């Protein structure tokens, strides 16, 4: 399972801090936010094979603080209509810190 976990999203923001991009944006006034994070989710086959794991993954991302998770509708012939994470965003410097 190579789906993006909350710890990996936090690590992406930590890299911005480590590289000095967060502080540089404050000093330069250059807008860095909203910032889209890399989010890898399950394939259609994985959704069918590991539906309970996908539901747990969705719940885990939805409860993640300081990160906006945008959902997309997903229709499956067996499971019907569902919403799965499509994009993850950090909207402001305050949320990144």
pLDDT band per the 50, 70, 90 thresholds, residue 91: very high
Contact 66, 10 (CB under 8 A): no
Ramachandran class of 96: left when φ > 0, alpha when ψ lies in -120 to 50, beta otherwise: alpha
Cα 80 to Cα 3, 22, 43, 47, 73: the distances in Å are 22, 42, 16, 12, 10
Domain-embedded: residue 88: yes
Domain-embedded: residue 78: yes
Given this model, what pLDDT does residue 57 score? 97
> If you compute the radius of gyration of the chain from its CA atoms, what whole number of angstroms results?
16
Domain-embedded: residue 39: yes
- Find the mean pLDDT for residues 18-37: 95
Domain-embedded: residue 1: no
Domain-embedded: residue 24: yes
Contact 42, 3 (CB under 8 A): yes
Lowest-pLDDT range, 20-24, 44-48, 63-67, 78-82?
78-82
Burial 53-71 (b: 16+ CB within 10 A, else e): ebeebbeebeebeebebee
Given this model, what pLDDT does residue 56 score? 96
Domain tally for the chain? 1
Q: Is the pLDDT of residue 45 over 80?
A: yes
Given this model, what pLDDT does residue 88 score? 98
Domain-embedded: residue 56: yes
Domain-embedded: residue 83: yes
Q: What is the span of the domain harbouring residue 28? A: 6-96
């Amino acid at each position: 399972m190579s789906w993006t976990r909350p710890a990996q999203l936090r690590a992406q923001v930590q890299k911005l801090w480590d590289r000095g991009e967060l502080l540089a944006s404050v000093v330069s006034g250059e807008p860095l936010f909203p910032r889209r994070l890399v989010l890898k989710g399950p394939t259609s086959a994985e959704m069918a094979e590991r539906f309970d794991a996908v539901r747990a993954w969705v719940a885990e991302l939805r409860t993640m603080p300081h990160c906006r998770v945008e959902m997309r509708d997903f229709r499956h012939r067996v499971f019907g209509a569902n919403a799965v994470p499509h994009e993850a965003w950090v909207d402001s410097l305050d949320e990144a810190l």
